[in-house]
Structure 1
Amino acid sequence: MIFLETINWYPGHMVKTKRLIKENIKVIDVVVEIIDARVPESSRNPVLKELIGDRPLLLVINKEDLADEEITMRWLNYYKNSGQAAVVVNAITGKGLKQMKAEIRSLAEQRMKGKSYKANALPRVMIVGIPNSGKSSLINKLSGKNVAKTGNKPGVTRGQQWINLKEFQLMDVPGILWPKFECQEIGFKLAITGAIGDHVFDVTEVTIGLMELLAAEYSQTLDEKYGINSYGKTGLELVEMVGRKRGCLQKGGVVNLLKASEIILKEFRAGKIGKITLDRPKN
């Protein structure tokens, strides 16, 4: 697949978030990183390792309802087999939260053992993730009330906050990306899933790339959704086919590619095309 543009997005508040993590990590017992089940590896922040030091890390694979179930389980086994604590959750329904809490308790006990803490001290947990990973929805589900702003777009959370839960104290920080994507495929996938603001990239080019990927990996799902035959078609042809089906026509019967692309991207992000995973585990 050819990526026609370089995608990077690192607004000023993300620099502030990096500083917040550095300043507060010394009082944290466990770090929870929320990743997107549709792009588990692409949504992991490579900068995080240097920021959290030796703090135990729990990977929380969120949005499992939007992802390919079989591949999600492969990713879970991949992480566990590599020695990385991980759980699969659904921040909307609460699926997997009980196991998530148990993993946090276990990691916190290991961290706090033999160290000087006040009697009955609650573990301090920092929750991090890229924008639009579902972090705020997860926090609200854990707390049982709307303590964190949510939205289907990046950049909703803008400042740190402490949330007191029964089992632990939770520190929420804004979503954070990294300054430069070494692999443009990662930038492309994060654009598709909504981790990067739509104003930063060419929506039509990204959607063309998405359709090429879906035709290669999920052709039956794609064809059934839109009533088309994707075999042998280019991404551009597929966007045009969907545009005609959806009435995205301009004067002279020409397809409005931007309008068609916006429809496709919106439907992908909402899971209306199907349960799709764009990353594959290495084994």
Structure 2
Amino acid sequence: MSIQWFPGHMVAAQKKAAETMEFTDVVIEVLDARAPVASQNPMVKALGAARQRAHLKILNKSDLADPKVTDQWVQYFNKLPKTKAIAISCKKANEPKKILSLCMALAPHRGTPLKPLRMMIMGVPNVGKSTLMNAILNKRIAKVGDEPAITKQQQRHQINDHMILVDTPGMMWPKIDQEHDGYLLAINNSIGKNAYFEDEVAEKLGDILLKDYPLLIASRYKIENLKIDASTLLDEIAKNKKLPLKNLNIDRERAGGALLNDYRQGLLGSISLESPSSRFLKNKQT
């Protein structure tokens, strides 16, 4: 199953973002630390490159990701030209405060009343852009929720007399080229639920967990035999959670939803869905 999701309001949001890019000095791209490359919108890269804008990549939700893998991603992104990358968690009050000074360092020619530093926050849905912006501004001005595409329109905020911050809606792109990326985005709740079947997405998550984090699975669901496939894992989760049967059969949809929820809430532990080595090895094989 190829997952695609591109709601109509994102067409207008893309056009507006392209217009705003002309008057932007630093692009703040918020990524999900658990899948940084899968959560990169290629259109953000293209827009920034066309205008040669400096790029600050925020690996958000780092508290949910595998810290060793996150360090590898930060090192990888920091080798890119005109790019700075940091990992943060918006749950930690002091971490978002680093962002403005990092933006200033990326555009040292700006940041005065005559030439204010102009920043634009971008990213796919549900990576924490609104939460991050609220933290930067130190007040709640953006609606926050654990679902994709809450913010629908661009918003401009005057931080002080030498800094301007523009918040953009979460934006996907018209076609997700790599099928695996669609699954990773769905696993991380960056895609509307009407675009996929939860049990199929949960099986993809199960494949990753059984391969890379089997002990976390064993601990959470009390599974002794880990030489199973992702389909059987859903059966075991249904038994562990004592889910009621559906038409005398195991309710795989509810079991899949339970696995996705446990992962998204961080109840399984610190997990990364992709690493630099797994990402680039996969690309070489396809």
> Same fold, TM exceeding 0.5?
yes
Aligned residue identity for 1:236: S
Note the C-alpha offset of 1:230. Answer: 4.9
**Alignment partner of 1:9 out of 5, 10, 29:** 5
| 1:255 Cα offset (Å) | 1.5
Q: How much has 1:82 moved relative to structure 2?
A: 3.3
**Is structure 2 residue 269 aligned with structure 1 residue 271?**
no
Mapping for residues 104-143 of structure 1, pairs under 5 Å: 104-110=103-109, 112=110, 119-143=113-137
Partners of 1:232 and 1:138 lie apart in 2 by 40
Per-residue deviation at 1:198?
1.3
State the Cα distance separating 1:96 from its structure 2 match: 2.7
Structure 1 position 61, deviation (Å): 0.7
Give structure 1 stretches of 5+ with no counterpart: none
Q: Is 2:157 the partner of 1:157?
A: no
Deviation (angstroms), 1:98: 3.5
* Larger displacement relative to structure 2 (117-126 or 258-267): 117-126
Per-residue CA deviation, residues 188-215 of structure 1 (Å, 9 max, x unaligned), is 0000000001111011111111111100
**What does the per-residue CA deviation read over 1:152-210, in whole Å, with 9 as the maximum and x for residues that have no partner?**
11010000111222462110110001111111000000000000011110111111111
1:156-195 equivalences in 2 (<5 Å): 156-166=150-160, 168-195=163-190
How far apart are the structure 2 equivalents of 1:157 and 1:230? 44
The residue aligned with 2:40 is 44
> Structure 1 pair 81/51, CA: closer, same or farther in 2 (3 Å)?
closer
Please, which runs of 5 or more residues in structure 2 have no aligned partner? 281-286
* AA of the residue aligned to 2:17: I
1:266 shift after superposition: 1.0
Partner of 2:101: 102
Specify the alignment match of 1:91 in structure 2: 90
Aligned twin of 2:214: 219
Q: How far apart, in 2, do the equivalents of 1:221 and 1:119 lie?
A: 52
Separation (CA, whole Å) in 2 of partners of 1:47 and 1:119: 31
Secondary structure of 1:27 counterpart: coil
- 2:72 is aligned to 74
Once structures 1 and 2 are overlaid, which stretch shifts more, 160-169 or 31-40? Answer: 160-169
Alpha-carbon distance in structure 2 between the residues aligned to 1:93 and 1:119? 31
Task: Tell me which of 33, 50, 56 is aligned to 1:58.
Answer: 56
Partner of 1:25: 21
What percentage of aligned pairs have identical amino acids?
Answer: 31
- Check whether the contact 1:92–1:137 (CA below 8 A) recurs between aligned residues: no
TM-score, normalization by structure 1: 0.92
SS of 1:20 mapped into structure 2: helix
Residues 61-100 of structure 1: CA deviation (Å, up to 9, x unaligned): 1000010011101111111133431111112223432432
CA RMSD, Structure 1 to Structure 2 (Å): 1.7
Q: 1:254 to 1:101 in 2, by over 3 A?
A: same
Q: For residues 170 and 17 of structure 1, what CA distance do their matches in structure 2 show?
A: 16
Report the CA distance shift for 1:95/1:276 in structure 2 as closer, same or farther (over 3 A): farther
* Residue in 1 that maps onto 2:284: none
2: CA distance, partners of 1:266 / 1:207: 10
CA distance 1:82–1:28, change in 2 (3 Å): closer
Tell me whether 1:238 sits opposite 2:233 in the alignment.
Answer: yes
TM-score (norm 2): 0.91
Cα gap change, 1:102 to 1:42, in 2 (>3 Å): same
* Misfit runs of 4+, over 3 Å: 117-121
Rounded to whole Å, the distance in 1 between the matches of 2:135 and 2:31 is 16
The one-letter code sitting in structure 2 at the alignment partner of 1:76 is: V
